[in-house]
Amino acid sequence: MNLDTPGHYAHRRGGVASGAPVMGMRCAKRPAPARPPIRFGRCVTPERASGTGLAYTRVVDQEQRILLTQASPGMVLARPVRLPNKVTLCPSGATLDDALILRLMNRGIKRVMVLGASVPQLPRVGVEETMRAVRERFSRVRDLPLMHLLEKLVEDKLVRRS
């Protein structure tokens, strides 16, 4: 099983026996659809594949792009660390430790992809909340033409982003 290939479904639990039917041959049992192999994941949600009666495991991959200065020992690389010339410094699946973090820093690496979501991310803020916050921030300078222009620009940019 290739652990490095991205995918969302784990291999079946049980299911079709080895010696899968060859195309064109009559077979007593309908073969299960091909599934990409399992990758990494923490949240495992069992699902019933419709029609097959077979149990599948859905793997919700969680990756996070973090700055290397945020990395802690024990974190696992979700993707390989490569130099701009495509030379791989570190393969995916490697566990970070202090020495490795330091070596990557010394090579000028700034960001890595790690498994899980151990570093909190900015929450997605709704449009209404964004606009309310912008208006509150500019509430005391809105009567100045330059600041009014800036408020409109900021509101536009933040709403687009949210």
Residues 95-154 that bind another protein (CB under 8 A): 98-99, 102-103, 105-106, 111, 119-123, 125, 129-130, 133-134, 136-141, 144, 146-147, 149-151, 153-154
Amino acid identity of residue 42, one-letter, is: R
Give the nearest distance from C-beta 157 to another protein in angstroms: 5
Give the nearest distance from C-beta 109 to another protein in angstroms: 11
Residues 6-65 that bind another protein (CB under 8 A): none
Beta 43-48 vs 63-67: how paired, if at all? unpaired
CA distances from 61 to 7, 9, 83, 101, 130 (A): 8, 10, 24, 23, 29
Helical ranges in the chain per DSSP H: 98-106, 127-137, 145-161
Question: Does residue 89 touch another protein according to CB under 8 A?
Answer: no
Beta 63-67 vs 111-115: how paired, if at all? antiparallel
Would you tell me which residues interact with another protein (CB under 8 A)? 67, 69-70, 98-99, 102-103, 105-106, 111, 119-123, 125, 129-130, 133-134, 136-141, 144, 146-147, 149-151, 153-154, 157-158, 161
